[in-house]
Amino acid sequence: MIRTSRIRCSASATSFFSSVKMGPADPILGLGLAFNADTDPKKVNLGVGVYRGDDGKPFVLESVKKAGGAYPHMEYAPISGPPGFVGKAQGLAFGENSTAIKQKRIASTQSLSGTGGLRVVSDFLARFLPSKKIYVPNPSWGNHLNIFKDSGLDVQRYSYFDASKNALNFEGILKDLNAAPKDSIVLLHACAHNPTGIDPTKEQWAEIINLVSTKQLFPFVDMAYQGFASGDLDRDAYALRSLTETVPNLALAQSFAKNFGLYGQRIGAAHFVCKDAEEADRVLSQVKILIRPMYSNPPIHGAHIVDTILSNPDLTKLWKSELKDMADRMNNIRGRLVQELAALGSTRDWSHITKQIGMMAFTGMSKAQVDRLKAEFHVYMTDDGRAAISGLNSQNVQYVAKAFHEVTK
């Protein structure tokens, strides 16, 4: 019989992890932790972009409930996801009558929501495109910079927002993109720009797309809010579809977190528009090679829900109706907030809030004002003054308006 002795770990032993430093909390998700720790009954979370009903509670779409039955099996999905889901994702983004789809020029894969789609695309672009420069709007969703830098891309910024006017800096966009070197990647928000909520008009999009085409830039589109911006799926996909008709290549990261309310399911897709079907096959083969050591196979339940809804005309109709209701509530609560501020006698111009669309409002408040909101009123927003409008409802909008007024008067 072999005797073994238990070896005790000495408290003085050197740890392999001793050099690991404490990292900072995520600037957006960290707000949720601070909010949860706050015991004030009047607290309001305008930090994380998650839709809430007018009762302030998490909202599950009726169409999702009806489609959410158990998946028939628990086998691995293909690396690129279930074909039915991937096809439905293509049609939703590019349109059922898309020439690119008919010509089989789009290489598509399921992704781990929008973030995963962004990472798959950026890793692919860093590996295969001639230029590693990516031009990102200033401001943009904070995680864009983390993703692109971790993928090895060289992040540059282009003007987008005029803080003095709380409006789009269209001339700045054209100037900066015109100065970008040939073959550079340019990130474009398809709709409901995050964090500003300000989108170019159709006429402005036409100029931007023409410039991208003329300068031979590579468009990388992030579409996290299709249907959630205006309530109209086709309207919100206008820029993407116009680009697809104009340029030979582009990439798209598509998310179903917001428009299906499937935040925790992490469902999205990554698409690559190619020159022809043969090129699309080659691109998809390399995308699969990239995904295999990353996470190998995507989750199936959320994909099953999306596929079921988009395959059933009645469920699709119900989903579109619910989507419009959510978008309308966001627009209505914007108007209510501005009305309450006016009723309080605020002399500040808040009209930009009603001109913006989508889940986010760029309030124009400073970090010092945001800090006061948290400390004195228990209203939580990101330091740049971005407010998730979805956190407002008929029960708290008056209180939030009062808080906004107090810190800005």
The question of whether 319 is a catalytic residue gets the answer no
Dihedral pair phi/psi, residue 361, rounded to 5°:
-125, 130
Active-site residue identified among 222, 307, 319, 350: 222
CA–chain centroid gap for 304, Å, is 21
The question of whether 258 is a catalytic residue gets the answer yes
Dihedral pair phi/psi, residue 146, rounded to 5°:
-60, -45
What is the longest distance spanned by two Cα atoms in the chain?
87
List Cα–Cα distances, 70 to 112, 150, 310, 313, in angstroms.
20, 36, 17, 20
Active-site residue identified among 258, 307, 319, 350: 258
- 33-63: buried (b, 16+ CB within 10 Å) or exposed (e) per residue? eebeeeeeeebbbbbbbbbbeeebeebebeb
131 and 184 Cβ atoms separated by less than 8 Å: yes
Structure-token pair, residue 44: 């309001």
The tally of CA atoms less than 13 A away on the side-chain side of residue 16 is 0
Task: Round to whole Å and give the CA distance between 224 and 346.
Answer: 33
Active-site residue identified among 141, 236, 307, 350: 141
The question of whether 325 is a catalytic residue gets the answer no
**Active-site residue numbers?**
141, 222, 258
